[in-house]
Chain A
Amino acid sequence: MSAVAHEPRAATARQTPRELSLIDCDAHHNWGGVKDVLPYLPRYWADYVLESQFKALPNSPYPKGVGGGERVDARPGDVGSAGSDVDFFRRQLLDEWGVDVAILTGQFYNVAFLANAGFAAALSSALNDWMIETWLARDDRFRGSLTVPMQDPVAAVKEIDRLGSRPDIVQILISAGSRMPYGQAFYDPIWEACERNGLVVGMHFGGIGIMHAPTSAGWPSYYLEWHTDMSQAFQAQMVSLVAEGTFQKFPGLKFALIEGGFAWVPHVMWRLDKNWKGLRTECPWLTRKPSEIILDHFRLTTQPIEEPDNDAHLLQVFEMMDASRTLMFSSDYPHWDFDSPQQAFPRLPAELKRRIFVENARELYGL
């Protein structure tokens, strides 16, 4: 199956300049079940799946209180989970909203939650080949995110080098929850490979299984809490990556923080800058304000949009975090907390709107 994956498809349409009006940075395609990737697995791992009756990737320990986590109207017919039918997905997301480019985000970064790194590596490759054939080959508006086994940086680098140069692959996708903060040297080979292949690191809401709790207080009881608290994991990763000097090591590296909220960004920038003034001797490679590094190397997606009672407060947050540089629209289709590109935002100045809905993502992903 990898023969197909090795051959980048003719990408002429992708290279034709065109006027873009809407880029969705978080569109979750889905499989119909592990059966979809069985043909892409080596025989040993295919049999492992069958013998062990492995059915699904580890998922959140929280029954999701709305629609099982899905937009109920996004299920294609009586069978199949939301996001698993390519044509339905195209109609309901791309055509209905006029999405010019959708960054496919699946939910397959969950392979990193498995304890067995070899299985995670095999599943990653199978999922990537399946995505390329089943999704990316079907519509020029799709761009792919690579699934990589974060348990094993050597295997992750191998997968990044196998597929990372394809024009339809724009990033790797990892979860905000991790076994150790992402700035620590364990992960450096992965970042090096991303930089070398021109891939963004997409970091998405999530982190269970062998990962730590999303809060330093432990596992909360309710999905309501988990969904709210997840921004803590994003903050810890951002601080770690800046403090450890990841962007001095890999100056071309960029992170897209997806579904982690954004109103916390001013807090982190201010607090980190303040602490750096007194504590910079611990990290003397930080020769400029941490907030400048954040603004240069991190982008954030909008969904789930913060909804203060007063719209003006949201616009103030946009100003504080320099949203005209840092913020990118995302819908999270087809999940229950989907944001409509037409209804989710208060009235925005035209230039800012263009930056959020098109330009920041276009520049980040080279679209």
Chain B
Amino acid sequence: MTRHVVAHVADIPPGERLIVEIAGRSIGVFNVNGRFFAVKNSCPHQGGQLCLGRTVGLATAERPGEITYTREGEILRCPWHGWEFDLATGRSVFDPNRTRVKSYPVEVEELQAETYPVEIERERVVVVLT
């Protein structure tokens, strides 16, 4: 397990994502309403750059025609064929147990030892490669 500092928090505002290269892997780091998630930038379907897709909500329906739309911004849709993935888990919506994208733990850590005269960013984003 290795830790990789990828950005300052302010670099990825809520609703935005940053695609970074870590140890040869392309990974998207997403800020979803202040929570950070990271998934591999490759769709398990046909290898499209998943992290270029839109982040959307989750459409569900108890009954035909009665659609509810929740968890806005938490679902990533592949830009190629529209497959949906839960950013929090990497699990697909249509088959959460068998179709997943690799997801990585993300931590936000305080800057502690920096002693620059003026500190602009106080936190940075760390992706943990597992």
Contacts and interface: CB of A to CB of B under 8 A. Distances in A.
B81 interface: yes
B60 A276 contact: no
A22 to B, nearest CB: 39
Contacts of A279: 82
B82 A245 contact: no
A212 B12 CA distance: 54
A278 interface: yes
B63 A281 contact: no
Given A281-B59, A281-B84, A244 B94 contact: no
A33 interface: no
Given A245-B64, A285-B64, A277 B59 contact: no
Interface in A260-298: 276-281, 283-285
Contacts of B64: 244-246, 248-249, 283, 285
A91 B31 CA distance: 76
A278 B60 contact: no
B81 A278 contact: yes
Interface string A1-40: 0000000000000000000000000000000000000000
A259 B66 CA distance: 35
A245 B64 CA distance: 5
Contact of B94 (A246, A280, A285): A280
B78 to A, nearest CB: 8
B65 interface: yes
A246 B64 CA distance: 8
B83 A277 contact: yes
A276 B93 CA distance: 11
B67 interface: yes
B63 A245 contact: yes
Interface size bracket, B side: 20 to 34
B58 to A, nearest CB: 8
B61 A284 contact: yes
Contacts of A281: 56, 59, 82, 84
B84 to A, nearest CB: 7
Contacts of B81: 277-278
Interface in A35-66: none
A251 B28 CA distance: 42
Contacts of A246: 64
Contact of B59 (A244, A248, A249, A284): A284
A281 B61 CA distance: 10
Contacts of A248: 63-64
B84 A285 contact: no
A365 to B, nearest CB: 27
Given A245-B65, A276-B94, A277-B94, A284 B83 contact: no
A314 B84 CA distance: 36
Contacts of A285: 61-66
A281 B63 CA distance: 14
Nearest to B60: A284
Contacts of A245: 61, 63-65
Interface in B71-86: 78, 81-84
B95 to A, nearest CB: 8
A283 B63 CA distance: 10
A189 to B, nearest CB: 15
Contacts of B63: 245, 248-249, 285
Contacts of B60: 284
Contacts of B62: 285
A346 B12 CA distance: 65
Contacts of A283: 61, 64
A281 B66 CA distance: 12
B25 to A, nearest CB: 25
Interface string A246-258: 1011000000000
Contacts of B84: 280-281
A284 B64 CA distance: 8
Contacts of A249: 63-64
Contacts of A244: 64
Nearest to A249: B64
B23 to A, nearest CB: 30
Contacts of B66: 285
6 contacts: A278-B78, A281-B56, A284-B59, A284-B60, A285-B63, A285-B66
Q: 4 closest A-B pairs (Cβ-Cβ)?
A: A245-B64, A278-B82, A285-B61, A284-B59
Interface of B: 45, 56, 59-67, 78, 81-84, 92-95
Given A245-B65, A277-B83, A283-B61, 4 more contacts: A245-B61, A248-B64, A280-B84, A285-B64
